[in-house]
Amino acid sequence: MRIIPAIDIIEGKCVRLSKGDYNTKIIYNENPLEVAKMFEAHGIKYLHLVDLDGAKSSKIINHKILEEIASKTTLKIDFGGGLKSDADLKIAFESGANQITGGSIAVKNREVFEKWIAHYGPEKIILGADANNEKVAVSGWLEDSNEDLIPFIKYYQSKGIQYVICTDIAKDGMLGGPSFDLYKKIINQCSVTSSAVEKLSEANGLKLIASGGISTFDELPKLAEMGCEGTIIGKAIYEHKISMKQLENFILNH
């Protein structure tokens, strides 16, 4: 299972929110590159970079930070937040994103999102399936859609999507543990080979990336055992609930 630390950006600074609420913003570092370099120094290979300004304004904003981290570290970055147009996507990839995550666009403009999957390929496009009571949330989580989570994921699987980041918004930034039951349900219902966890990594299988609520190191082996392909960790790192040494050891031993 891949360990993917998160850096969320508002006004160029590394922040965290609780339940996606912009009023709960805590600034952890003024320099996101410094944070990314610290991750890299501890053996981290992946980074989840979220442009929260972009998510709010529906267009890419913080691509300069993406470019800086991509050019000054070896981290493979998945980038999301406000990507709504072909031009946004072009900027993200040209700025060094390894993958992009589309959430709101996948709900509000299926035609465009499906075109991206076809054009860039499923290894480059991640479906951001963020949920509130198993309904997909959009616009930086500022609104709920009427889309049911599991049929939504299944629909995009039929269009070629493999990578899915699922955040249970009620858990995000709360350090109360991840949504094990929700992830189990998704893996069971959306995996092509739902009975065989070891086959999840096959080309047509679901690569589920758990996100939101991670609070202790012990939760990571559980998510791995369940069949999650990756897990995104944010506040637990910044609040020192999980140490970089623990993550380093996990990566070495898995």
Contact 163, 179 (CB under 8 A): no
Contact 4, 233 (CB under 8 A): yes
Sign, CA torsion 120/61/166/148:
negative
The whole-angstrom separation of Cα 100 and Cα 186 is 21
Where do the H-state alpha helices sit in the chain?
32-41, 52-57, 63-72, 86-94, 104-108, 110-120, 149-157, 180-190, 219-226, 235-238, 244-253
| Coil vs helix vs strand at 83 | coil
From 8, 88, 168, 172, active-site residue: 8
Paired sense of beta strands 143-148 and 135-138, if any: antiparallel
From 53, 88, 130, 172, active-site residue: 130
Asked about 8 being catalytic, the answer comes back as yes
Asked about 130 being catalytic, the answer comes back as yes
Q: Catalytic site residues?
A: 8, 130
